[in-house]
């Protein structure tokens, strides 16, 4: 068992140290900067510069086969199924226990949308090499992120306060996302056979190398441990996110014919803890920010135990 799980722990322990460093910087206000400002600067840099460069580089250097194309389909089915399941569970639970609308939206979002890029990308590349980065990017940017804006944000605006977020606004947002433009640019260059100078590829590689440590550090900056009443209502969201969604992802990927690394990548992506972006969505639509932060912390901490189990499951189930 230890020999099987060691690769995962060998990856997670350095991540834990970087996350802890982010938590320390949050507490000490290094350089006089508050954690929110520091995280905003890091996220903006990663999202607008480093991640698009990584997308272009990966598309140009990776082999894009049928399994890669089926990754977004797996992610779509997994995400929508998780969303429907969590909505059903909390609708039924709401008949027995009073759950505020702002809390219900946070619980559903936390149970559905995982940290598939910020944590998923470094985990997959650590386990399976740089070639597996394409699975993380296709899973997130061509499926999870569009569904986030098409389903999650309108749901948050419905349960929250302020202006309703309409579908056309979601489509405009998706179309303007720099990482998606990076993937499209990479695909276009690859299809046209355009030759890219080696110095440009090397530059994009150097920019892309910054993505993983900055993303992990940003998770640490975002983590805090607020007090939450009625902790028992969190249990279904945590179980769905860390236990049921990976199984849904496995069944979906298997049905679509994915095998080996592609299948294992889908399972591990499905097992990722709650996305950090859910905290920003909660703030934007005046949902329960405290509950969102608590779920991010709890699922992230628990994922250091459940991710190795998901990895072991892939070793057991996948030839």
- The tens digit of pLDDT for each residue in 58-93 reads 888 888 888 888 999 999 999 999 999 999 999 998
Assess contact for 26 and 223: CB atoms under 8 A.
Answer: yes
| CATH architecture of the region 2-222+232-317 | Up-down Bundle (1.20)
Distance, in Å, from the CA atom of 97 to the CA atom of 184, rounded to the nearest integer, reads 46
pTM: 0.84
Exposed/middle/buried for 59, CB within 10 Å: 0-12, 13-18, 19+?
A: buried
Domain ranges in the chain are 2-222+232-317
Exposed/middle/buried for 88, CB within 10 Å: 0-12, 13-18, 19+?
A: exposed
Which residues pair with residue 274 across a beta bridge? 114
Closest CA to 131 of 64, 50, 179, 202: 64
- The tens digit of pLDDT for each residue in 107-135 reads 999 999 999 988 888 899 888 888 888 99
Secondary structure element (H or E) that encloses residue 92, with its range: helix 66-96
């Amino acid at each position: 068992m230890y020999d099987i799980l060691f690769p995962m722990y060998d990856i997670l322990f350095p991540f834990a140290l970087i996350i802890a460093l982010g938590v320390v910087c949050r507490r000490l206000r290094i350089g006089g900067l508050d954690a929110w400002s520091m995280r905003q600067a890091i996220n903006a840099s990663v999202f607008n510069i480093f991640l698009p460069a990584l997308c272009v580089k990966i598309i140009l250097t990776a082999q894009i086969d049928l399994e890669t194309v089926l990754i977004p389909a797996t992610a779509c089915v997994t995400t929508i199924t998780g969303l429907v399941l969590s909505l059903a569970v909390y609708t039924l639970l709401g008949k027995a226990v009073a759950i505020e609308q702002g809390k219900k939206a946070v619980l559903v979002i936390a149970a559905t949308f995982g940290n598939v890029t910020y944590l998923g990308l470094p985990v997959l590349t650590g386990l399976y090499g740089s070639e597996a980065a394409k699975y993380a990017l296709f899973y997130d940017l061509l499926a999870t992120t569009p569904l986030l804006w098409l389903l999650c944000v309108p749901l948050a605006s419905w349960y929250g306060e302020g202006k309703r977020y309409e579908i056309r606004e979601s489509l405009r947002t998706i179309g303007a996302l720099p990482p998606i433009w990076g993937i499209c640019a990479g695909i276009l260059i690859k299809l046209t056979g355009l030759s890219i100078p080696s110095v440009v590829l090397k530059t994009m590689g150097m920019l892309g190398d910054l993505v993983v440590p900055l993303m992990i550090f940003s998770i640490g900056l975002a983590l805090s441990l607020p007090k939450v009443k009625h902790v028992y209502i969190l249990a279904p969201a945590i179980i769905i996110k860390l236990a049921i969604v990976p199984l849904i992802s496995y069944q979906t990927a298997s049905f679509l014919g994915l095998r080996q690394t592609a299948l294992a990548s889908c399972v591990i992506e499905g097992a990722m803890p709650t996305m950090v972006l859910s905290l920003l969505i909660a703030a934007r639509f005046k949902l329960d920010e405290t509950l969102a932060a608590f779920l991010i912390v709890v699922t992230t901490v628990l994922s250091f135990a459940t991710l190795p189990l998901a990895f072991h499951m892939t070793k057991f189930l996948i030839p």
